[in-house]
A = this chain, B = another copy of it.
Amino acid sequence: MGVIEGAIDTIKQMIITGELRPGQRLPVEKDLAEQLGVARNTLREAVRALIAMRVLTTRQGDGTYVTSLSPGLLLDGIGFAADIHVAAGAGQFLHVRRILEAEATAAAATRIPGDDLARLDELLGQAERHVAGNEIEHGKLVALDEDFHSLIVSHCGNAVLAAVIQNMSGRTVRARIWRGMTDPEAVQRTLREHRAIHRALLARDPERARLHAALHVLGVEESLTGSRAFGGAVDD
């Protein structure tokens, strides 16, 4: 194992063992490098790797800190993976999203507060009015779509579940999905499905919510029967 990997693991272990806690500040680069027995440049590469994993964060002129280590933060690497695979037309991420989003929507049915049910209604109204207008801007629909699902999933009661779903369906993924919907009928169907999910939530009915959520994502999956690059192999 190289010196850099060693430094990365050492810092990781300091976090797992609790020696470094969320929000805590690390020693200055010079000291930490000396403490780990590596050059400053080497330490910086290790720190940079941990920054990429959202474990550390740096502020010039201030210092280096451990992040909150919240699931939402640590799991955002999923987003990039989803981006390149969905961009390549692989439906496997969407299948996983279907499984999870069905469950999360069901859980949200009994947890989402009334305020946010009203907020969902407002989002749907905006989308419907936008589609009814003259010129449809996909960016606007993507943003409304993201807000709609995001608000529901955030009330599922499980931060990890919410984070995985959200990262699997980030801006890039949704943009590709909506761009693929050239058929106006497909857009209408999507809005109807959103309404059905909303009604199930209003009725506080988890099973209805689960079914409508699953059906909704399945519809997206089936509309993406393109190429399958990266989509087949299980191995690395």
Chain A interface size range: 35 or more
Query: Which of A63-98 touch B at CB < 8 Å?
Result: 68-75, 77-78, 80-81, 83-85, 87, 90, 92-93, 95-96
Contact B70 A74 (CB under 8 A): no
A93 and B46 CA atoms in complex are apart in Å by 27
A41 at interface by CB-CB < 8 Å: yes
Residues of chain B within 8 A of A231, CB atoms compared: 159
* Nearest residue, chain B, Cβ from A12: B80
A117 at interface by CB-CB < 8 Å: no
Contact A236 B158 (CB under 8 A): no
Contact A230 B69 (CB under 8 A): yes
Residues of chain B within 8 A of A51, CB atoms compared: 49
* Nearest residue, chain B, Cβ from A44: B45
A99 at interface by CB-CB < 8 Å: yes
A15 and B233 CA atoms in complex are apart in Å by 19
- Which of A44, A70, A71, A85 has the most C-beta atoms of chain B within 10 angstroms of its own C-beta? A71
A78 and B16 CA atoms in complex are apart in Å by 15
Distance to closest chain B CB from A2 (angstroms): 8
- Among candidates B4, B12, B46, B96, residue contacting A158 with C-beta atoms closer than 8 Å: B96
Known: A70-B233, A95-B158, A233-B159. A78 touches B80 (CB 8 A): no
Q: Closest 9 interchain pairs by CB?
A: A74-B81, A49-B52, A92-B160, A77-B77, A45-B48, A159-B234, A52-B52, A92-B158, A70-B236
- List residues of A whose CB falls within 8 A of some B CB: 4, 8, 12, 15-16, 22, 41, 44-46, 48-53, 55, 68-75, 77-78, 80-81, 83-85, 87, 90, 92-93, 95-96, 99-100, 103, 154, 158-162, 164, 172, 230-236
**17 more CB-based (< 8 A) A-B contacts, given A70-B230, A92-B158, A95-B161:** A16-B84, A46-B48, A49-B51, A50-B52, A53-B53, A55-B80, A69-B230, A70-B233, A70-B236, A71-B85, A71-B92, A73-B236, A92-B161, A96-B160, A99-B99, A99-B103, A99-B161
